[in-house]
Copies of this chain bind each other. A is one copy, B any other.
């Protein structure tokens, strides 16, 4: 998976999860272990001791070094072996090292780069520092391949059924114009009229007139809700492929709920967000189980599936994108 996926920064866990004990995580099929050195910097190395292949994540951290649970070999942040207990000389450095990965912390998340040498920095949500905006984080796992998972989050037409009442309602549809714009590393759909009639819109949507759904490489999805020129709510989902059929998802919501104070809407909003997530986890798990029963997907699409072809195109490295990209307008009943 490492070879096929875009070389990029991926979120692998929340910053506050990495404390004294090492933390296991999986990125693109590779089991990793995270720990902090004495300067509190994150180390990210392969979760396998070079000696007898025990999982280092089951060991402990001592003096900023990761200690194997089996024979106590010690590794620094760069993955270099610094001690082999029992040896009389100090020849420990001969005994190899464990593969390490570039890592960083940003916006409350730990990021790992999917290649030896990192290019650029992890993405940053500017709104999180802006006055008036407050944030909420929720992380979870979905059982689906990356495209099915991202499509589920950005798709409007499932909300009437999977999130009936919470997001939209089947009986209250009206025509909504959507403009699809395709860039070189992202695609977005702008909904020119807002149609959400569910509980979430009633809580947050005072004055919301339009919204945007966006996918950006390598695996980020965003929803923006605008009241005129003010961005009232931005939900960003970082998808981290763990295996071809499981994604870890880090959801960060930046909100400006005025005229309501954030402390008033925080609890009901967090509750609704988690409920929507559980509903999507359930339908994606049902879809995945059915794909396994039938031995793979056989999908038919309509003009309502406005983003999927573009997401597939962006992830397909073998087909360069054309220069003459044009906007496209669609009308949906939402």
Contact = CB atoms under 8 A, between A and B. Distances in A.
Interface residue SS majority, chain A: loop
Interface stretch (A8-16, A34-42, A67-75, A244-252): A67-75
A289 interface: yes
Interface size classification for chain A: 35 or more
A236 B85 CA distance: 27
Given A55-B289, A70-B283, A287-B54, A333 B85 contact: yes
Contacts of A69: 161-162, 283, 286
Interface in A16-44: 31
Interface in A53-93: 53-55, 58, 67-72, 84-88
Contact of A290 (B54, B161, B162, B289): B54
A291 interface: yes
A319 interface: no
Contacts of A261: none
B71 A286 contact: no
A85 B299 contact: no
**A47, A161, A170, A293 — which one has the most chain B CB atoms within 10 A of its CB?**
A161
Contact of A286 (B50, B51, B54, B331): B54
Given A70-B162, A161-B69, A302-B95, A53 B86 contact: no
Please state the number of chain copies in the assembly.
Answer: 3
Given A51-B299, A72-B170, A87 B304 contact: yes
A302 B87 contact: yes
Interface in A109-124: none
A179 interface: no
Given A69-B283, A72-B161, A283-B69, A304 B55 contact: no
A253 interface: no
**A48, A53, A148 — which one has the most chain B CB atoms within 10 A of its CB?**
A53
Contact of A297 (B53, B68, B175, B302): B53
